[in-house]
Amino acid sequence: MSIQMVDVETEYAKDKNLKREDVKILSKWMAKQPHLPKVPELHLVLFLQSCYYRIEPAKIAIDNFFTMRTLCPDLFGTPSVESLKEELSVGSINLLPKTTPEGYAVICMKLLDPAPEHYRHVNQINLLDLITMWNLHQKGTSNGVLALFDMKGISFGHLTRVNLVAMKKHLFYVQEATPVRIKELHCINVAPFTDKLVKMAKPFLKKELLDMLNFHESMETLYKYVPKEIMPKDYGGENPSLATLHEENTKNLLENMDLFKWIDTLKVDENKRPGKPKTTGDIFGLDGQDSGRFATKTLPNPIEIAGKTDKPTVIGGVNMSWGGTTEPAAQATLMSIGALGVDQNKKHSKALAEVVSKELGVPNSRMYIHFMNAPSSDVGYSGTTFQEILGS
């Protein structure tokens, strides 16, 4: 097994705020944590720097990082070469060769295959993590990371394939565990339903991350944050095209499978954790057992929504914060081909709010409902779409 990593001496040389004595304090602390794996000095450097040289936050991030990777192998395990190649044909996630004037690394994400049926949300989360791990181990620290999302090609069909549980896990990992400083989030070629996507993610986002979101109607406004010259040729810049960067990135990932497999061995041993072992339920409330929460529940009484009578199914066990409290709250999504509009949605909102309040005890003032009026071509059924079934 051949693994190449950036030299820690390079990290100390480029950052005067990174102190060896602080890294030694972290190292001594790690040695006293029987549940944590043994890690190289580079890992301690990455966490300390990403936490702005604060030792206690670095300790929390280290524990969160290895705990998350141990408890969520579906998001963070090394895929097969065949699976990795398949995901690389769907999404392009590339670190640009040059940084911003502030020293922020720019990671550019874009769909290559616009077909919703080929989009696997969990697998794309995994791909993003592989690329992040490769860059951290090969290039070391940076002043921060600026994420650029090109939404061209994203349709409502992709939105329906978003896994909310995976989103919750991933956003916790990004905000509380990954050893990177997230500085800015930018979206271009913004899809018309982007507001709905943001609403889906909002319960899991800290205010700091929400405040970083920027949506651009033109490239000119983006250039105020990311200088035009450091962008790929596709976006008017002077750097290699996205296709070239993607080809290089694919080569790097496939040549470093040993690195990813080694990272997979760095597991937490919950049987040795001081105190009570952690589970996904402890972190996310996903076990459906604590505090009387349920995993999935079909409400007993049918209601009429969008011209149909049905019993809503509720997915529970998702911790939510609303207005600074964790009292019962809900987020509902109602998708329909037609039957939605200004007047109809008022009726739908009233009917849903009444049943959720009665059956689940969630006040009307602590529930959002997202209405999605989908084109028939964007909803599949029985091996085809409703456009073909309905003939329109």
Give pLDDT tens digits for 323-370.
656 677 888 888 888 778 888 888 888 888 887 877 777 888 888 888
β-strands 213-215, 144-150 pairing: unpaired
Q: What is the largest CA-CA distance in the chain?
A: 70
Q: Residue 147, CB half-sphere, CA atoms under 13 Å: how many?
A: 18
Asked if 81-259 and 285-390 have one fold, the answer is no
Residues composing the chain: 392
- The amino acid sitting at 235 is Y
List the strands of the sheet with 144-150, edge to edge: 91-95, 104-111, 144-150, 182-188, 213-215
What are the residue ranges spanned by the domains of the chain? 8-74+268-272, 81-259, 285-390
Residue 316's contacts (CB-CB under 8 Å, 6 or more residues apart) are 288, 293, 294, 295, 296, 297
Taking the C-alpha atoms of residue 203 and residue 288, their distance in angstroms, rounded to an integer, is: 19
- Give the pLDDT confidence score for residue 363 in this predicted structure: 83
Taking the C-alpha atoms of residue 45 and residue 119, their distance in angstroms, rounded to an integer, is: 35
Q: Residue 328, CB half-sphere, CA atoms under 13 Å: how many?
A: 14
How much of the chain is helix, strand and coil, in % rounded to 5?
45, 15, 35
308-329 burial, b at 16+ Cβ within 10 Å, e below that, comes to eeeebebeebbbbebeeeeebb
pLDDT > 50? residue 380: yes
Q: What angle do CA 121, 124, 126 make, to 5 degrees?
A: 115
What CATH number is given for 81-259 in this structure? 3.40.525.10
Which parts of the chain fold into alpha helices (H)? 8-14, 20-31, 41-50, 55-71, 73-76, 81-88, 121-139, 156-159, 164-176, 194-201, 207-210, 219-222, 242-255, 257-264, 280-284, 342-360, 386-390
- Give the pLDDT confidence score for residue 318 in this predicted structure: 63
**CATH number of 285-390, picked from 3.50.50.60, 3.30.390.50, 3.40.1390.40, 3.30.429.10:** 3.30.429.10
Give pLDDT tens digits for 30-44.
999 999 999 999 999
Taking the C-alpha atoms of residue 170 and residue 164, their distance in angstroms, rounded to an integer, is: 10
Helix (H) or strand (E) holding 372: strand 367-373
Q: How many CB atoms within 10 Å of residue 220?
A: 10
Among 51, 40, 55, 44, residue whose Cα is nearest residue 5: 40
Per-residue confidence band for 295, with pLDDT thresholds at 50, 70 and 90: very low
Q: Are 304 and 350 within 8 A, CB to CB? A: no
Q: What angle do CA 307, 309, 315 make, to 5 degrees?
A: 115
Phi, psi of 385 (to 5 degrees): -120, 165
Q: How many CB atoms within 10 Å of residue 356?
A: 23
pLDDT > 70? residue 285: no
Per-residue confidence band for 281, with pLDDT thresholds at 50, 70 and 90: confident
- Give the pLDDT confidence score for residue 39 in this predicted structure: 96
pLDDT > 80? residue 176: yes
Mean pLDDT for all residues in the chain: 88
Give pLDDT tens digits for 103-145.
999 999 999 999 999 999 999 999 999 999 999 999 999 999 9
